Chains A and B, each alone.
Chain A
Amino acid sequence: MTASNHLLEVRNVETHYGKIIALRGVDLTVDRGEIVSLIGANGAGKSTLMMTICGTPQASSGQVIYDGEDITRMPTHLIMRKSIAQSPEGRRIFPRMSVMENLIMGAEMAGNHDLEAGLQRAFDLFPRLKERRNQRGGTLSGGEQQMLAIARALMSNPRLLLLDEPSLGLAPLIVKQIFDAIRDLNQSDGLTVFLVEQNAYHALKLAHRAYVMVNGKITMSGTGKELLAREDVQAAYLEGGRH
């Protein structure tokens, strides 16, 4: 693959929280049209990497390149207006606002004014949201909230979708629904997806390529299938984790 095919490139990134180092020189690429998963244990630095890409906190050294442009020092709100969308960890929908308003929040700041088309796409992807469109976000179930978080991120018509733990706290059946939707988006719309997950089995099965992070460093990488087959990965992340 040529360098120009990288949509997102993380080069030797280090991130600190005060004096504590969270990322120790991470290298990672996401190519156009790919689903890339990052798996790792609690506290490995997965979410920190995700947030460093978004600019909160900013990397203390190294570079984050999006679509050929260095976004390492860019303020978060400008990064998020660059056809990058994120569904944050813990869903973080707006509980008092209606489902419709939640969705519109996703479109407004990114400058996507074709609301009708965006809403149509969201409701096609998750019909449940259409039924619930006038309900408060806070009254949705966990799975519906996750759907809403993803749909809200998609409203900006992104080229790169960042998903932070979409399976968090959800029933296996709902997890399957969500992951099917992600695969669908990738296959039909060509959406590039970067996924951070603890649910290693689903994440590896879904991904074209994947990385394993331990203690702020990437320790393994390969195709999803390769990593799934490796014994050390199975021992560390998949014991009893297969739903």
Chain B
Amino acid sequence: MSEKTIAAISTAQGEGGIGVIRISGENALEIADKIFKNINNKKITEMKGYTAAFGKICHNCEEIDEAVALVFRAPHSYTGEDVVELSCHGGIYLTKQVLRAALSAGAYPAQAGEFTKRAFLNGKIDLTEAEAVIDLISAKSKSAARAALFVKDGALRRKIDSVKNDLLSITAHLSAWADYPEEDISEVTDDMIIDACKSSILTLEKLLSSYDSGQAVKQGIDTVIAGKPNVGKSTLMNLLSGCEKSIVTDIPGTTRDIVEDTVLVGDVILRLSDTAGLRETEDAVEKIGVDRARKRLSQCGLLLAVFDNSRELDGEDRVLLDSAKDVPSIAIINKTDLEQRLDISYISNNISKIVYISAVNGEGHEELVKAVEEIAGTASLNPSEGILSNERQRLAVSNALSSVEEAQNALSLGMTFDAVTVSLEDAISELLELTGEKTSDEVIDRVFHNFCVGK
């Protein structure tokens, strides 16, 4: 319980200059080392307390952001435990990414009030403050009770229940078969377990992918608008956002920095970055802008690659098309009001979704909305299917999924059923935790209900 290392976003959720992800607990330094690459290669576990390092946050070998890591060693920290605070660029999307990296590196999502609770338990806060902590936790348990109630009838609950029931049927059958070998209980076959695993994996995977779509609805997709200078990116952005945020001129290279705005496109929130063009340049200031644009582009959740209908494809367009292969992209053919000189078939070989617009006339807006919704998965996102709504739920489902996969692997390796059961029970307990149930006797109840066993 209090021994687990926890992590959470410690700054207010929303737009801000910086975001802080705090990791606290026995393994805080090790976990930070897994996701933070110090610029001078020094490990966080080797750093002293009250020191800082500059470096990059990586998840699955991909850079998420640059960050400053502040190291606090127990007991000299807010919670009294080892603590690492990662200060990265603000914004919901980025901080969530960093948090997710920390969670997949082994941290658990902190419960409301948990840092404070630990601070108290470790003697960092005095007695008078303890009352407030208790209030916080009991208030939390009340709101959790309300939330659980809400979840109880919801689509998510039904989804989770169906997986849980599939797995319970199998474990109950396994346990009846093992506990009552002298009853004529039908044998549990590998196929029965594999079938249950397969369907559970499918449902859990679907839920996980719905989380990203759900997040797209809730928190927005990091979207980059890119294209060579003067192709009309800023005009497009203004069209989308409905306000002039970038400096729009006809002189190439006037957009020098990443400017952000959040817009609602259909169901989807796009967090737009209007970038500088990708052309080679000697201008030092512009060069910085171009470099940043490239980097942003490689990390975004959606790329709107803008092309000029009236000009022929050039090297810069090709560079853009090349980078579009690695990220979800929509090709925007702008200036359809002008005569076509663009080789559209070359574009469609690289980006399958093409939308024709005239930013000047406002044409193609609907098609763009449709394309964005398709890419974000919200077009197929049916709220009645059940959506994971927070990081805790996502982690539980993701853990359950890996436990089921582990069971499947064990089986294919030829392990005996008692080993397979260990993994299946792990999955069930993750799901029970998610739905707020705490019944260790579920399996046994199922045995008595479904199987005729006796003396």
* Same assembly: no
Residues of B at the A interface (CB closer than 8 Å) are: none
